[in-house]
Structure 1
Amino acid sequence: MAGRNGEAAMVDGGWGGVVRAGLLTCVRGLVQAVLSQAACIPLFVVTVLSIAFIPIGVGVVLAPVAIGAMRGLANAQRVWAAEWSGVPIPVPYRPAQAGGGPFRRLWGLLRDPATWRDLLWTLLNAPVGLLLGLLPACLLAYGLEGILVAPWLGQITFYGWGPFWPLDAWGPIGIVAPMVLGAVLLVVSFPVGSRILKGHALFCQSLLSPARTALAERVRELAETRSETVDASAAELRRIERDLHDGAQARLVALSMSIGLAEELMKHDPEAAGKLLAEARADSGQALTELRGLVRGIHPPVLAERGLDGAVRALALSVPFPVDVRIDLPGRPDAPVESAAYFAVAEMLANTAKHSGAGRAWIQIEHGGGRLVLIVGDDGTGGADPAAGSGMRGIERRLAAFDGTMAVTSPPGGPTVVTMELPCALSSPRIWPSSGTG
């Protein structure tokens, strides 16, 4: 733990390690003290003024910039608290709202309770960060002063070389006492300094962590998402069972009966047996086709072989009108996320082909800020409503299982734009070829 730097350093490197850890704590405290004045105060003033200027229009542009800078400083503090003091501070911000222009983005920032907690932190951290940041360095400085400076002043006074009569009244005690006090302060400054730095991290944790109401809301959302995911999984299993029972299983049963009957006919009517075997071969081909279709519905082979890029381009080629494809993925998402993204795009393209009356569509997929963004649009008649059909609602549930979101913009007359986001990290680099348009 970073809060036990002194003990760990003493075990690893003796007193030299303790001194290095103590000096590092002092430097980190000074960084906190400087930022509390040079960053927190200006950010608080600028953010408050930019919010106040929203009614005259200037704040619509300035407020998101100021809030973004304030969040950047708060995120840096979260990283330092974890690395320096072992105090984890979760990031509480709500996902950014895609689309809708600057007003929607600003409204999303102002509605986020974490924005106002960050603002309060910048105000309170100015005095608290200054005090707690300077204390470790002050303890070290006063300890060194007691050892290196005060004894000389006491010696000069004792021999009558200076006007420091209070030390002269104590004689040699006036020389030894500052040295003892300085040594105590010097030794204490190392472990106490790291605890003071941890105290500052705990102070930041109290303001920069998610609020209890936010945590309760998050728990409720996760419970709903889990319930919907379980229901969706159960429905998917029932669909697979129904397709197997009514399709491939029925054909395989008929195939078995035909082969059995052909075996009996082979003894006295080889011609009829040959016809039954021909029918059985046709049934086996149809059963194989149905099984392949069922497998594609679970996890398409092209997705496993070529990744999301190649699979989406193959989808675009199957649509009966031109589809522009722009994909920028330096790696591959995890398989469950990749599958969810693929079926989301597939459902959107199917809706476009069936209901939109579009003559052209476009797909844009990119990754940034730890989120996979998928945009599917068309130039159709518009009026798409996620609540009106089960397809979009099912995709919304599938994305919610991965903490994803879906936003639909579809005014009457079009165009329709569906923006989907999935938090994920990319792993291995892609190895499939790509082109500009599918």
Structure 2
Amino acid sequence: MTTETKSGESRTRVRGAGLAAVRGLALALVALPGAVLCFVLSAVSIVLIPIGVGIVTTPWVLTGVRAFADWRRVLAAEWGGVRIPSSYREIPKDANPWGRTFGMLGDPATWRDLRWLPVDMTAGFLTALLPAALFLYPLEGFALAAGLWRILADSMDGAYWYGFVPVTGQASAFGAAALALALLVVARIVNPRLLKVHFQLTRAFLAPRQGELAERVRVLTETRRDAVDTSAAELRRIERDLHDGAQARLVAMGMDLGTVEAFLDKDPEKARHLLAQARRNSAEALTELRDLVRGIHPPVLAERGLGDAVRALALRLPISTEVDVDLDGRAGAPVESAAYFAVSEVLTNAVKHSGADRIWIDLHEVKDDAGTLRITVTDNGRGGARIGAGSGLTGVERRLGTFDGVLAVSSPEGGPTMVTMEIPCA
């Protein structure tokens, strides 16, 4: 291994340790108050159920808890490569407050969330803060060696302790710097692992355990039924499009050609007109067949792959769209097809409903055991998109669910809207 390679690896490790420290500090500062707020509001709301107030407030509070937990699932996947499945039971849209409250409280995933919150505000806080402490505390040791010890010595009667090193002079300040350097070496090695421990602790409490197999079977049964229904609906659409489009034009073209035979000798001008009409019908039938084939499986997807197919899709949009693709290879054809049509549906929603004037599409492969394909579609529109709100996102969720994929939507009122899709490709 060359010196340049070793130096590059060393810089990469230092950057990794620093990034883990920054992320850990951000988690500690944001997650602690978030976990405390969610736990307190949940406890108060559940206690108020017997007097009726909690019937109204509990669904809203638990929805917020689920959003907080889902956010942490996303961070666990993106920052730690730790996938935490979300297995909340679906609540009927027309359920009354009573049904929503006890439907959520009857969901084992709700109680996993509530058990996780106290752990997150204690052990989770410490495991998130430790990488930051290991990376930042050495700065004090270096500052002592640079002369800070003189200022501290003037303000303190005894020695200033840095770790287990009493700093009383320049020599002991250099000892503090040596300890700081050792801590920095330790941070470079263990910081990314410590952050992953934090996310593994989160997974230990949020991931389903008892009843996981039954829940998995239920989800797969629903997914299979949805896939069969979707396939049947697609076949009916193809049959209808063929019957009403290309087939009708081909029948008309055959009739025109039959008439041409009758008028070829008696009225050549009429025959020439009918031939031109038959030519137009054949061209239109060919165009409709090409559109139909493109709707089943776009040729560019089969020939060039998902990245170029999405770029071609973006070029046809009336909105300025940027596409960023970082894929090492190609996924299986069914996965690429599902991803393509999912992106197509999300873009159609954005064009029709968001009022956006700019869209960003990002496709990249997550370096994890599942070889996850992650697609993010962001627009700067008005927001308010919801799964199950008649926006077509429910169909996207079902399409991805066939491949054990997930769909996450962040769309506050006023925008922006971010739709994230993940599909395991291994």
Task: Give TM-score, length-normalised by structure 1.
Answer: 0.51
CA pair 269-240 structure 1, distance change in 2 beyond 3 A: same
CA contact (8 A) 2:324 2:363 kept: yes
CA–CA distance in structure 1, aligned partners of residues 271 and 252 of structure 2: 15
Aligned to 2:73: 97
One-letter amino acid matched to 1:408: V
| Worse overlay, 362-371 or 242-251 | 362-371
CA–CA distance in structure 1, aligned partners of residues 387 and 113 of structure 2: 25
Q: 2:32 aligns with which of 44, 47, 57?
A: 57
Within-5 A mapping of 1:31-430: 57=32, 97-98=73-74, 111=112, 213-368=211-366, 369=368, 370-389=371-390, 391-425=392-426
What SS does the aligned partner of 2:325 have?
strand
CA deviations on 1:116-142 (whole Å, 9 max, x unpaired) are: xxxxxxxxxxxxxxxxxxxxxxxxxxx
CA contact (8 A) 1:382 1:414 kept: yes
CA deviations on 1:415-438 (whole Å, 9 max, x unpaired) are: 00001110113xxxxxxxxxxxxx
CA pair 107-349 structure 1, distance change in 2 beyond 3 A: closer
CA pair 271-364 structure 1, distance change in 2 beyond 3 A: same
CA contact (8 A) 1:98 1:407 kept: no
CA–CA distance in structure 2, aligned partners of residues 288 and 264 of structure 1: 26
CA–CA distance in structure 1, aligned partners of residues 406 and 85 of structure 2: 18
Structure 2 unaligned blocks of 5 or more = 1-27, 36-69, 87-108, 117-206
What SS does the aligned partner of 2:360 have?
strand
Shift of 1:315: 1.3
Shift of 1:98: 2.7
Shift of 1:354: 1.3
What SS does the aligned partner of 2:73 have?
coil
CA–CA distance in structure 2, aligned partners of residues 240 and 390 of structure 1: 22
CA pair 59-240 structure 1, distance change in 2 beyond 3 A: closer
CA contact (8 A) 2:345 2:392 kept: yes
CA pair 395-267 structure 1, distance change in 2 beyond 3 A: same
CA–CA distance in structure 2, aligned partners of residues 259 and 241 of structure 1: 25
Shift of 1:384: 1.1
CA–CA distance in structure 2, aligned partners of residues 286 and 299 of structure 1: 20
Aligned to 1:130: none
CA pair 277-226 structure 1, distance change in 2 beyond 3 A: same
Identity of aligned residues (%): 59
**Structure 1 stretches (4+) deviating beyond 4 angstroms?**
53-56, 99-102, 105-110, 209-212
CA pair 405-106 structure 1, distance change in 2 beyond 3 A: closer
Q: CA RMSD in A?
A: 3.6
| Worse overlay, 244-253 or 266-275 | 266-275
CA pair 346-273 structure 1, distance change in 2 beyond 3 A: same
CA pair 252-106 structure 1, distance change in 2 beyond 3 A: closer
CA contact (8 A) 1:347 1:395 kept: yes
The structure that has the greater radius of gyration is 1
What SS does the aligned partner of 1:98 have?
helix
CA contact (8 A) 1:98 1:419 kept: no
Shift of 1:395: 1.3
Shift of 1:321: 2.2
Shift of 1:385: 1.9
Shift of 1:270: 1.2
CA contact (8 A) 1:333 1:424 kept: yes
Shift of 1:292: 0.2
Higher relative contact order (CA 8 A, sep 6+): 1
CA contact (8 A) 2:246 2:286 kept: yes
**Aligned residues, how many?**
247
Shift of 1:297: 0.2
CA–CA distance in structure 2, aligned partners of residues 283 and 210 of structure 1: 58
CA pair 210-99 structure 1, distance change in 2 beyond 3 A: closer
One-letter amino acid matched to 2:290: R
CA contact (8 A) 1:374 1:420 kept: yes
Task: Give TM-score, length-normalised by structure 2.
Answer: 0.53
CA–CA distance in structure 2, aligned partners of residues 213 and 223 of structure 1: 15
CA–CA distance in structure 2, aligned partners of residues 56 and 280 of structure 1: 69
